[in-house]
Structure 1
Amino acid sequence: MGSTAFETLFGGAAGGGKSHGQLLDALRFAVCYPGSRQLMLRRTMPELERSLVPASLRLYPQRIASYKVGEHQWRFQNGSVLEFGFCDAESDVTRYQSAEYDVLRFDELTHFTESQFTYLISRVRGANGYPKQVKSTTNPGGVGHHWVKARYIDPMPPGTVAEFDGGSRLFLPACLADNPFLRRADPDYEKRLRLLSIHDRRALLDGVWELDEGRYFTEWSPALHVVPPHPIPRGWRRCLTIDYGLDMLAALWIAQSPDGRSLVYRELYEPNLIISEAAARIRACESANEQIDCRLAPPDLWNRRQETGKSAAELFSECGLDFEKSDNNRVSGWLALHELLVPRRDGRPLLTVAETCRNLIRTLPALRHDARNPSDVAGAPHELTHAPDALRGYAATVREPAAPARPSAYDCEIGAFLSY
């Protein structure tokens, strides 16, 4: 963990000494940089109390630091502080909104959502001149597997520091062989890992990141479903479908060919918009001569609001956007989306997505099965569901295509494919 990159992930197989290394690196930093502040996070407080806290009590010398149980902090004689924290709910990140840390440490990063991570790394700041870093450990799997893999595993080879907007990143693979102390103390640990299911064994023993078990849309393939923006013929119907809440507006523009092919050609993905702002942003995305044939929204937008006595649908209408109710049956909607994604006899799916629609491309393959209802999508992490929910509304409600038209080869519209 002695990395100098701004972000470092030490991840892979279980038993590689990841958490132990994280604690020792935190101890080294606290001693080397007097008055420094660090935050070490697990998803829940019980996880902290079962793992990091007792391990730190065994490792840290009492003559240079003392642990304050009520505050979950190690306080060092040189003024340094190591704080243990947690983020169970999405909103728990706000408990750290005024804090400043030199180093932020995530234990089991794949247990966190991407929105929690990106908010919390903004707390890494300060004018003391000390190194500012984010250091994380994890095993493959968990609700954050997809975004962690996309951030650290896919972009660069292991052990290579790569530069990105916002700072450098490094992935260090972990394996059981990295921890000879555990193998000597518990020689049967590896044998027990080999008794796990194939999926768990690949994640925990082999440290494999290419895990598909639990993925809802297994038919999704970037090679099949992601396409460059291209002209849309005038004879195609256009539809806007949205999922709206104050936490996120997800809007997708979809063009449907006469033979039933659908192209998601534009997206809008933006949080913290009241209805008038959301309507203005939607209208700004559409060109002046763009004909939208239908606008779909989930039925809950027709519920009357206590503060105004009007529904969200009525407020959108007052802003010039009239919506129809989409079919909100979750299971049948997801099944309809499966049908659009599965390749047909010609090898092509009925639905493709323009490569500019980055949030839909990011979130749709990350959806997992609901553990209690395998026919449904898991509702957590919630951040992943907004754009797919909008697409589900379209899939469940889409009409039968009109009779094939015969437009001129030149009768097409070169529209801008906007992505926000």
Structure 2
Amino acid sequence: MELSVTRRQLEFIRSTAFETLFGGAAGGGKSYAQLIDALIFALQYPGSKQLVLRRTFPELKRSLIQVSLSLYPTSIATYGETSHRWKFVNGSVIEFGSCDSENDVTKYQSAEYDVIRFDELTHFTKFQFTYLLSRVRGVNGYPKQVKSSTNPGGVGHGWVKARYIDCLVPGEEKDGRLFLPARVQDNAFLMKNDPDYVHRLELLDERSRKALLYGRWDLFEGQYFGEFSTELHVCVPPDPLPSWWKRYLAIDYGLDMLAALWIALAPDGTAWVYREVYRSGLIISEAAEAIRTAEVGEHIDQRLAPPDLFNRRQETGRSAIDIFADAGLYFDRAMGERVAGWYAVKEYLRPFDDEQGICTAKLKISPVCKNLIRTLPLLTTDPANPNDTANTPHEYTHAPDALRYFAATVQPDGDAWRPDRYDGDVGAFLAYEG
């Protein structure tokens, strides 16, 4: 039996790191490398067990399973249509599985695998990945590994980028992890058999093209705020901030997270996010204390909170806003309509040339606001509503939601929204000019 692989695929197959990610551009031969590597492992280690995962089974069936049926020799292994397993004559097993929902991982609770392989790792949540890490175990003395392949984008883009891209030098193993970047040009077999593939990628929109053709992890398919740019939007604010600039506080609050953003509005309509508090597990009185401590000696012109915090609890007749008021913090109701709010954020992010021809934007974020900078570009489009953002992973939504409440409520000219100006017509509200 003769198998042909590229140089990068061979590096993936030979990797002995506990975690290996083969990721980047589309067409790099990542899935093929997974199947070849799984076959070699199965033959080399009799009685070994491997799990190959995609997020949904239909994706698995039309990709990896279909390819394996044409690739694996039936003289040494048989495939079970019901069990979705390849069983080899030496006792090894390659199992295909999926995790459609967040908690589907529990069906593997009692299982043990020598190798778990994630195809399109960014389609999995961090919880699913870390839970399944515990299934890589056994006393047979065989190598224990997690081998993954992926393109940029998807619900897990943020945690995958943080785990492998931001902290590793490509090709150099560190702390048991290895990242191998994939480029379509590395796949000589694809270039030879389908020379128009690159041309088809070049026809994609700019964001998808950069992600899938060049493997860019800062731009990816499904990203909601493709306008965001660290170079353009992250800037050190004036020190000190002019005292005549209006200052706002916008919060998103729950026991899971207090996300508080302090924003100064310059006379030219530029909003400077100059401070954040991002803390979990705070009851309302503790959240109020954290806010008061952050803004000691500072005058805040307006504090904004989402509409749900104004709802009164039936058993007490009091709202979260009432408890904040007990601590001396008084909030106005922010506009809560999601789509209109996200559109308002996009208006603040929109690049434009100033009078000197320099590209700028109406939103500037201080480098100290690390969580807003981290999470804002990770928001993805809601598959059910392309005008809205997805609500998962929920951890990514807190700081952007606080920004949304500000952007939807305070116009770039500094004229705050008031309830008497809003009659339910979102389009008219967004068109309001003073």
State the TM-score, normalized to the length of structure 1.
Answer: 0.72
1:268 paired to 2:278:
yes
Structure 2 counterpart of 1:333: 341
**Within-5 A mapping of 1:134-283:** 134-144=146-156, 148=160, 152-153=164-165, 158=170, 160-163=171-174, 167-175=176-184, 178=187, 180=189, 187=193, 189-191=194-196, 194-195=199-200, 198-199=203-204, 202=209, 206-209=213-216, 211=219, 215-227=223-235, 235=243, 239-244=248-253, 248-256=256-264, 259=267, 261-268=271-278, 270=280, 273=281, 276=283, 280=286, 283=289
Aligned CA distance change for structure 1 residues 366 and 32 (closer, same or farther; 3 Å)? same
Give the counterpart letter for 2:377 in structure 1. P
Percent sequence identity over aligned pairs: 49
Aligned length: 389
Counterpart-to-counterpart distance in 1, 2:240 and 2:211: 47
Deviation (angstroms), 1:327:
0.7
Moved more, 294-303 or 149-158: 149-158
1:123 paired to 2:134:
yes
Deviations 1:215-258 (A, max 9, x none): 54344221232245886659466544333456x42502314256
Aligned CA distance change for structure 1 residues 321 and 204 (closer, same or farther; 3 Å)? closer
1:366 paired to 2:374:
no
Instruction: Give secondary structure in 2 for the equivalent of 1:131.
Output: coil
For the 8 Å contact 1:12–1:203, the answer to whether it is kept is: no
Counterpart-to-counterpart distance in 1, 2:112 and 2:250: 40
Aligned CA distance change for structure 1 residues 305 and 370 (closer, same or farther; 3 Å)? same
Deviation (angstroms), 1:107:
0.9
State the TM-score, normalized to the length of structure 2.
Answer: 0.70
- Aligned with 1:24 (options 33, 36, 56): 36
Aligned CA distance change for structure 1 residues 216 and 50 (closer, same or farther; 3 Å)? closer
Counterpart-to-counterpart distance in 2, 1:311 and 1:81: 57
Counterpart-to-counterpart distance in 1, 2:381 and 2:181: 29
For the 8 Å contact 2:86–2:95, the answer to whether it is kept is: yes
Give the counterpart letter for 2:289 in structure 1. R
Moved more, 332-341 or 204-213: 204-213
Structure 2 counterpart of 1:40: 52
Deviation (angstroms), 1:283:
3.1
Counterpart-to-counterpart distance in 2, 1:282 and 1:35: 59
Counterpart-to-counterpart distance in 2, 1:297 and 1:392: 11
Deviation (angstroms), 1:153:
4.8
For the 8 Å contact 2:262–2:276, the answer to whether it is kept is: yes
- Aligned with 2:304 (options 289, 296, 306): 296
Counterpart-to-counterpart distance in 1, 2:234 and 2:34: 39
Counterpart-to-counterpart distance in 1, 2:93 and 2:84: 10
Counterpart-to-counterpart distance in 1, 2:84 and 2:394: 29
Deviation (angstroms), 1:198:
1.8
Aligned CA distance change for structure 1 residues 377 and 101 (closer, same or farther; 3 Å)? same
Aligned CA distance change for structure 1 residues 22 and 329 (closer, same or farther; 3 Å)? same
**Within-5 A mapping of 1:343-354:** 345=355, 349-354=361-366
Deviation (angstroms), 1:140:
4.4
Counterpart-to-counterpart distance in 2, 1:302 and 1:95: 41
Deviations 1:46-90 (A, max 9, x none): 111222223334444556655454444445566654332223334
1:287 paired to 2:297:
no
- Aligned with 1:87 (options 86, 93, 99): 99
Give the counterpart letter for 2:229 in structure 1. S
Structure 2 counterpart of 1:415: none
Instruction: Give secondary structure in 2 for the equivalent of 1:267.
Output: strand
Counterpart-to-counterpart distance in 1, 2:287 and 2:211: 45
Deviation (angstroms), 1:42:
0.8
Counterpart-to-counterpart distance in 2, 1:82 and 1:310: 57
Aligned CA distance change for structure 1 residues 191 and 221 (closer, same or farther; 3 Å)? closer
Structure 1 counterpart of 2:117: 105
Structure 2 counterpart of 1:413: none
**Within-5 A mapping of 1:47-58:** 47-58=59-70
Aligned CA distance change for structure 1 residues 91 and 231 (closer, same or farther; 3 Å)? farther
Runs of at least 5 residues in structure 2 that lack an aligned partner in the other structure = 1-11, 416-434
Counterpart-to-counterpart distance in 2, 1:89 and 1:309: 37
Deviation (angstroms), 1:109:
2.5
Counterpart-to-counterpart distance in 1, 2:110 and 2:21: 25
Structure 1 counterpart of 2:407: 395
Q: Kindly report the root-mean-square deviation, in angstroms, between the aligned alpha carbons of the 2 structures.
A: 4.3
Aligned CA distance change for structure 1 residues 74 and 161 (closer, same or farther; 3 Å)? same
Counterpart-to-counterpart distance in 1, 2:328 and 2:115: 48
Deviation (angstroms), 1:132:
3.6
Structure 2 counterpart of 1:5: 17
